[in-house]
Amino acid sequence: MHDDRPTWRSRTWLAATVAIALVLCGLLAMGVDSPAAAWTAVLAAVGTSLALAAGAALKARSERRRYEAELETWAAEKATQTERLRIAGELHDLVSHGLGLITVRAAAASGATGPQGDAERRAALADIEAVGRETTTELRRMLTVLRSPDAAHDAPDAPLRPAETLGDLPAIVDAAVGAGVPAELRLGELGHVSPGVQVAVCASVREALANVLRHAGQTPATVDVRRDGSDGGDSGDVVVTVTDAGPAPDHRPQPGAGHGLSALRRRAEGLGGSLTTLRQADGFRLRLRFPDGDLR
């Protein structure tokens, strides 16, 4: 947006000065016969200048109001765009996680045989139905906001879903276990963690485990969340490390959009953190670092 803010004070005085100068120049050119005539001319010049100044001031005020209205419109559009980008990120996380669970669960059940295979298939179908229902419900909520921009204004403080905390990590890991990934959660002494970092940690763990499902299948994984240094205080980065044991036997990697690691990196960098990955002989390690101090 161009910075075309009206500077009505300078324009007003410029117009007045020019008007007075023109009248005085006219007086000097024509000459005056008496002081009364001179005063009359000066008063006329001043009156003309005041009229011009008043007109310029009114015009400048109108321009300022127009500019301020444009600023408000621009700010509202910017806020809407930012919110839509945030929702798009949540949509990616939600769909990626849900479809990852469904795909891996279905693939595992399709290879089950015998009496135990029947039980495994029934359990897989129940899990797929539960994940599908949950994902569909969340999608409807988010799409309602995307389709109706006024929905956010009607309830600006109402989140799309309750903000996650570190207390939700066991359930997130259990969901991966339910999909067949023997994942283990290890929590260090974290102290006080800011709400924004807690949300980022939960979303990152969910996405990282979804990546394990897509690319390594039903393989053991470890989720480690702790402070850098683990001194039990409230200072230092919060570090999330997700390690898997490599692809499970006969696993075929599931194709994805390729945005998983990019989304994780953007989430970390958005909070001033970083993402590092390491492919090892016995698996894959992903580490996110979130700066977080004592914000109480």
Residue 195 sits in a domain of what CATH number?
3.30.565.10
Instruction: Give me the helices (H) in the chain, please.
Output: 8-30, 35-110, 114-147, 150-154, 169-178, 195-216, 260-270
Instruction: Confirm whether 91 is domain-assigned.
Output: no
Instruction: Confirm whether 2 is domain-assigned.
Output: no
Instruction: Confirm whether 156 is domain-assigned.
Output: no
| CA–CA dist 71, 21 (Å, integer) | 37
Q: pLDDT tens, 210-219? A: 888 888 888 9
Same domain assignment for residues 59 and 181: no
Same domain assignment for residues 182 and 292: yes
In the DSSP assignment, the letter for residue 253 is P
Under the phi-then-psi rule, with left for phi > 0, alpha for psi from -120 to 50, and beta for the rest, what region is 65? alpha
User: What is the token pair recorded at 103?
Assistant: 């795909």
> Which of 28, 53, 72 marks a domain boundary?
72
User: What is the token pair recorded at 274?
Assistant: 């970083």
Instruction: Confirm whether 144 is domain-assigned.
Output: no
Please determine, for residue 114, whether its predicted confidence score (pLDDT) is greater than 80.
no
Please count the structural domains in the chain: 2
User: What is the token pair recorded at 216?
Assistant: 């390594």
Beta bridge partners of 238: 227, 290
Same domain assignment for residues 67 and 170: no
Q: pLDDT tens, 170-208? A: 999 998 888 778 999 999 989 888 888 898 899 899 889
> Which of 72, 92, 127 marks a domain boundary?
72
Instruction: Confirm whether 108 is domain-assigned.
Output: no
Q: How far is CA 284 from the centre of its chain?
A: 28
Beta bridge partners of 141: none
Same domain assignment for residues 62 and 189: no
Sorted by sequence, the CB contacts under 8 Å of residue 138 that are 6+ apart come out as 94, 160, 161
Sorted by sequence, the CB contacts under 8 Å of residue 251 that are 6+ apart come out as 216, 217, 218, 219
β-pair type (283-290, 274-280): antiparallel
Please determine, for residue 26, whether its predicted confidence score (pLDDT) is greater than 80.
no
User: What is the token pair recorded at 219?
Assistant: 């393989």
User: What is the token pair recorded at 198?
Assistant: 């807690």
Please determine, for residue 238, whether its predicted confidence score (pLDDT) is greater than 90.
yes
Same domain assignment for residues 285 and 167: yes
Instruction: Confirm whether 103 is domain-assigned.
Output: no
| CA–CA dist 78, 182 (Å, integer) | 43
For residue 287, give its domain range: 163-296
Give the long-range contacts of residues 68-72, CB within 8 A, separation 24 or more: 70/1, 71/1
* DSSP line for 173-201: HHHHHHTT--EEEEE----S--HHHHHHH
Instruction: Confirm whether 26 is domain-assigned.
Output: yes
Same domain assignment for residues 187 and 294: yes
Residue type, 87: I
pTM as predicted: 0.55
Instruction: Confirm whether 93 is domain-assigned.
Output: no
β-pair type (283-290, 238-244): antiparallel
| CA–CA dist 265, 194 (Å, integer) | 19
Tell me the pLDDT of the chain averaged across its residues.
75
Same domain assignment for residues 281 and 177: yes
- What does the angle CA 270 – CA 212 – CA 86 come to, to the nearest 5 degrees? 30
- Tell which residue, 180, 167, 158, 201, has the closest CA to residue 290: 201
Measured from the Cβ of residue 170, the count of other Cβ atoms closer than 10 Å reads 11
> Which of 20, 37, 72 marks a domain boundary?
72
- Tell which residue, 133, 100, 106, 107, has the closest CA to residue 256: 100
Q: pLDDT tens, 49-101? A: 677 777 777 887 887 788 777 777 777 777 667 766 766 777 766 676 677 77
Lowest-confidence range among 14-23, 165-174, 276-285? 14-23
